Amino acid sequence: MSESIQISAKLVFVLIDGVGDVNSPKLGSKTPLHAAHTSYLAAISGAGLNGLLDPVEPGLACGSDTAHLSILGYEPRQYYKGRGAFESMGAGIEMWPGDIAFKCNFATLDTSTGIVASRRADRNFEDMGPTFCADLDGLSLPSFPHHTVTVRYATEHRCGVAVSGPDLSDSVSGTDPLKDGLPLQIVRPLDSSMEAKHTAALVNELSAEMCRILKQHPLNDDRAKAGKPVANIVLLRGCGSRIRVETFKHRHGMRACMIAPTKIIAGLGMSLGMQCLHVPGATGDYRTALHAKAEAAADALVNGATDMVFLHIKAVDDTGHDRLTALKVGFLSAIDLMLGQLIKRLHSASKSRAQCTFIAVTGDHSTPVEYGDHSHEPVPFTIAPIRDVAARLGEAHLSAIPLEPIANPGLGAEAHSLDNAMPYAQGSSASTAGKGFCEISSSNGALGRFPGRELMGIVKEYMHSYIP
């Protein structure tokens, strides 16, 4: 597909993080997408092109950052420099050439054994995360007086940490063992350069200093008295520097903005020259205001100076990591309602405009509930013109779609009780047959199965050649 195709249409690109899954015994051997109520996803897939997407390549269980790079048309093996810079930039840290940064978790360390008891101290961390970050920001490194440390809160238990100063390298490992119950890792150089050795020593000291401050923090005293796990370590992973790439507009000929409260995705978008829109109520977790995202995406596409709105939804990925089957089904059903609102808003605006608007939906990877982590299964992809989706639904149906807030299916302990009760799974009568947007039906689409690097070419060619 040609990179130089000029696009006069507009696009809203909805990416459901962790959308893919495998058959679940709790769902009668359906996947969550099979079990969810997805009438609007079915309308999109029924009105357009469909296929299965390997976000990077077949057989590769990728991270969200590498998957997004690939999907947006940037080969990860050529451009990827670690996720730390994305997280830190998205959290509000301005990075300059020579700086390094880490994607980080507030975690619980057994200081007597050096074992990481829990890689995340608590998902509900919004009340204390900013305070911890403020008290870690600007900490001194006794052995490295010419280096400065910047810490910013991201979302949930996450933060970004950046280091500025001379002779830094992003070729170092991290402290995160990546699984609970394993020892805190020693940072090591990943090449033989003096800069990498120097940086490894600096980051080990940084980790120790952050642990020292957190150990004696009053908020951790309060958590310990309340019987909650303390946040006494910051796990550092994904050391990276800011990538240098041509902008999304230059590469694809489309002015793009992004709605992505998840800081690592926001930082990636910023690295590609995308404007990141702030949407009140959009949190990047289970509490996110889906209706607000739909309203903001439609407004940006209709009234803003943009050709594409990239809308990222994180909560589905969290349900996979947390192994909450019913919650995943529930969020997929809630997202489908959000898509209905988005279709209604865009169709209403398009009636007075000659310009055609398209909607695309896919995921960045699978996060099966049975596995609890990212896996290598491909994800469904669909793209269709809004006018054809609206025609498929009918004016009466569209006018009846409410634009009110969408209730999220469950939070905290409620989510676990929801999973035990399985009301969403029991209440769904959807079968695998005829489900247009799912792991099975999408495999029969005209696009077949294709790698992420081809996606933007497919999208541009389809939008360019569409004849109403």
With respect to residue 420, please indicate whether it lies within any of the assigned structural domains. Answer: yes
Which amino acid type is present at position 399?
Answer: S
With respect to residue 3, please indicate whether it lies within any of the assigned structural domains. Answer: no
Residues in the chain: 468
Domain shared by 55 and 119, yes or no: no
- Arithmetic mean of pLDDT, 215-239: 93
Q: Is the model's pLDDT at 352 over the cut of 50?
A: yes
Residue 235 tokens read as 């796990």
Would you state the torsion angle of the CA atoms of residues 342, 345, 347, 348, taken in this order, to the nearest 10 degrees? Answer: 170
Residue 384 tokens read as 């269709």
Residue 145 neighbours by CB distance under 10 Å = 9
Distance CA 265, CA 301 (A): 20
Distance CA 369, CA 318 (A): 10
Residue 321 tokens read as 């990591």
With respect to residue 108, please indicate whether it lies within any of the assigned structural domains. Answer: yes
Distance CA 45, CA 42 (A): 5
With respect to residue 2, please indicate whether it lies within any of the assigned structural domains. Answer: no
List the beta bridge partners of residue 360: 13, 383
The DSSP letter of residue 177 is -
Domain shared by 75 and 167, yes or no: no
Q: Is the model's pLDDT at 428 over the cut of 60?
A: no
Confidence (pLDDT) at 2? 42
Residue 94 neighbours by CB distance under 10 Å = 11
Residue that is last in its domain, among 219, 240, 261: 240
Confidence (pLDDT) at 458? 97
pLDDT digit string, tens, across residues 90-133: 888 888 888 999 989 999 999 999 999 999 888 778 888 999 99
Domain shared by 112 and 72, yes or no: no
Domain shared by 75 and 93, yes or no: no
Measured between alpha carbons, how far is residue 104 from residues 8, 316, 332 in Å? Answer: 40, 21, 28
Residue that is last in its domain, among 212, 240, 268: 240
Residue that is last in its domain, among 214, 240, 266: 240
Domain shared by 260 and 197, yes or no: no
With respect to residue 152, please indicate whether it lies within any of the assigned structural domains. Answer: yes
423 band by pLDDT with thresholds 50, 70 and 90: very low
Domain shared by 196 and 68, yes or no: no
**Residue 52's CATH number:** 3.40.720.10
End-to-end CA distance of the chain: 22
Measured between alpha carbons, how far is residue 186 from residues 114, 200, 202, 421 in Å? Answer: 11, 9, 11, 43
Reported as half-sphere exposure (CB side, CA atoms, 13 A), residue 27 has a value of 30
With respect to residue 4, please indicate whether it lies within any of the assigned structural domains. Answer: no
- Phi, psi (5° rounding) for residue 9? -85, 175
Confidence (pLDDT) at 91? 82
- CA 451 to chain centroid, in Å, comes to 19
Domain shared by 230 and 263, yes or no: no
Domain shared by 365 and 230, yes or no: no
425 band by pLDDT with thresholds 50, 70 and 90: very low
Task: Cite the DSSP H helix spans in 394-454.
Answer: 395-400, 412-421, 423-427
Domain shared by 101 and 37, yes or no: no
- Arithmetic mean of pLDDT, 458-463: 96
Domain shared by 446 and 390, yes or no: yes
Which distant-in-sequence residues (6+ apart) come within 8 Å of 284 by Cβ? 155, 156, 260, 261, 262, 263, 314
pLDDT digit string, tens, across residues 355-364: 799 999 999 9
Reported as half-sphere exposure (CB side, CA atoms, 13 A), residue 278 has a value of 4
Distance CA 226, CA 133 (A): 21
Domain shared by 204 and 272, yes or no: no
Confidence (pLDDT) at 415? 53
- Which secondary structure element, helix H or strand E, spans residue 15, and what is its range? strand 10-16
Judged by average pLDDT, the poorest of 29-33, 251-255, 297-301, 401-405 is: 29-33
With respect to residue 302, please indicate whether it lies within any of the assigned structural domains. Answer: yes
- Arithmetic mean of pLDDT, 4-26: 85
- Phi, psi (5° rounding) for residue 416? -70, -40
With respect to residue 5, please indicate whether it lies within any of the assigned structural domains. Answer: no
* Nearest C-alpha neighbor of 231 from the set 127, 359, 332: 127
The residue segments making up the domain with residue 393 are 10-80+247-465
385, 46 in Cβ contact below 8 A?
no
Task: Report the domain count for the chain.
Answer: 2
Domain shared by 402 and 274, yes or no: yes
